[in-house]
Structure 1
Amino acid sequence: MTHLSIGVQSSRFVEREVETPAATGHDLLVEVEAVSVNPLDVAVAGGAGDGTVLGFDAAGTVRAVGPDVTLFRPGDRVMYAGQIDRPGSNQRYQLVDERITGPAPRTVSWAEAAALPLTSITAWESLVDHLGLDEHSEGTLLVVGATGGVGYVMLQLVEELMPKVTVVATASDEERATWVRMLGAEHTVNHREPDLAEQILEVAPEGVDWVFSAHSRGMGQTYARVVKPFGHIVGVDAGLEDFQVLKIKGIAWHWESMFARPLHRTPDMVEQHRLLAHVATLVEDDLLEPVIAQELSPINAENLTRAHEIVRGGRSAGKVVLSGWEE
């Protein structure tokens, strides 16, 4: 049996037929119904070798399971963000480990389900695993990059799961500021206006307890001014050049990489399954909403190229998703 796969060839996407692999161990063989394109996809594409199948976020139907699988069975609807060391989701059939796979919410479309995993895992691990926040946490969280995919999910998670946490969110204009306030942010600041630190301290005079940083370049002095002593920052990018400015206040820096668990096969890999299951429940209970900027159909090389161009432009508010296959 073969299936359609979209890989990189001479820096462009090319469709080809490949052999469909068999599910072994903890693997699920998933028929992919929808995928989303993230900034990570665009970054990885630039250095991908010929034949590489990219793609992380996906939603689809389990068609076969390996002998060690206990969490799913054929016919189940699932969603996942995959791994960086295995072929990606830009193909009709994909193998994915059950322990990093969650049930797809029953109340949303395939496209909406595919918009959830990578951002949900990143937001959840940042808040819970790194910052240690829960329903009892009290304090102020600064979200830098609140209008990105992770930010949209993070604001909703804090609103529903951490009700005593006050959120200060960055936004570049009033339209985006209104949107993030609708998602739960109590205050907004404009990162394009001068002296961001003064804006933050105006709404949080004593400083903030925690920071989620999606855009860290040039932010060292700002964080040193606005974060309380012994505060915590979790970063998802490698932009911060000067960590020394944080030392005098004992500020801790955490790195979030949602691929750390699957890449290193950590003993707690199954935590990603559990958190995705929790996310699915929140969606089904109308407490968390996927945010889609644009949906393209079908999944093919042409639309994948368009999706990468949209994401590369950096102006889309929400996820860019591809769904369906040409028969």
Structure 2
Amino acid sequence: MADLPGVRITEALPFQHSGCDYAGPFILKERKTKGYICLFVCLVTSAIHLELATDLSTDTFLACLRRFMSLRGKCSQIFSDNGTNFVGAKRALDEMQQLLSSQEHQRNLTRSLANNGIKWSFIPPHSPHWGGKWESSLRSVKLHLRRIVGKSGLTFEQMQTLIAQISAVVNSRPLCYTPDTDLNYLSPAHFLIGRPFTTVPEGDLTHLPINRLDYWQNLQSMYQGFWKRWHQEHLTSLQQRQKWSNKERNIAVDNVVLVKDSNLPPAAWIPARVVEAHPGPDGLVRAVKLKTSTSQF
């Protein structure tokens, strides 16, 4: 297993480096239309932001993106799945695959974000584990949705309210424990609003003399304390690697491999030849370019 990428372990503002993914479809009551959840996850603080999308089009996604950045601030880099990661999924995900793997969608998206100075990066196809950060966040969201909604349909307004409440629940989850008496755990909410979502805000201090308040220094000290705990408690917990601990021989150019495809019928196989190998910073190859009898990817 590779080292964590630099954007995961470098202190940054919430959502400056984000991952993006879709969940759904969900049936909405209005005319039995489909709805989708567009998820954005901060790669540093693990905070999430959810937007409700009414269809799978580039314009609708860009609208979700504008709403997200209007509330959370502009990103410098966004990572997402390549559409071919959905190959072999259920039929319900076919439309999602068509959108995300569309060259026109990727071209329009990249051009639109480049105008705002935002870099968009796609993970390699057929490699969903490269996007484990947003996959695990989506799993948490779907778990709450299944428990609450089940098979019943909701109106657009009800679904909008529900996903806002779900994002608050997920953002209040503890990232790590700390023995501090005032703050015994650290959550994504601390980086978003300076306290857990379940904490009652402080009382009104406007009646106190101004010379008794040192608000911004206290606020800055508290914010730096959150990051200190993030470095000391949370970041160290990410160093453990539970799988792929044994080194294997590197895949090299001209190696012949089999492509795993869940859509293939039994006893059908796709052989491919490695035409390019892309080693990581540690010299190990985790991404390659393959050539089959019909295409390259």
TM-score grouping bracket, smaller chain normalisation: under 0.3
Q: Which has the higher helix share?
A: 2
TM-score by length of 1: 0.24
Report the structure number with the largest CA radius of gyration: 2
TM-score by length of 2: 0.25
Q: Which has the higher strand share?
A: 1
More RCO (CA 8 Å, sep 6+): 1
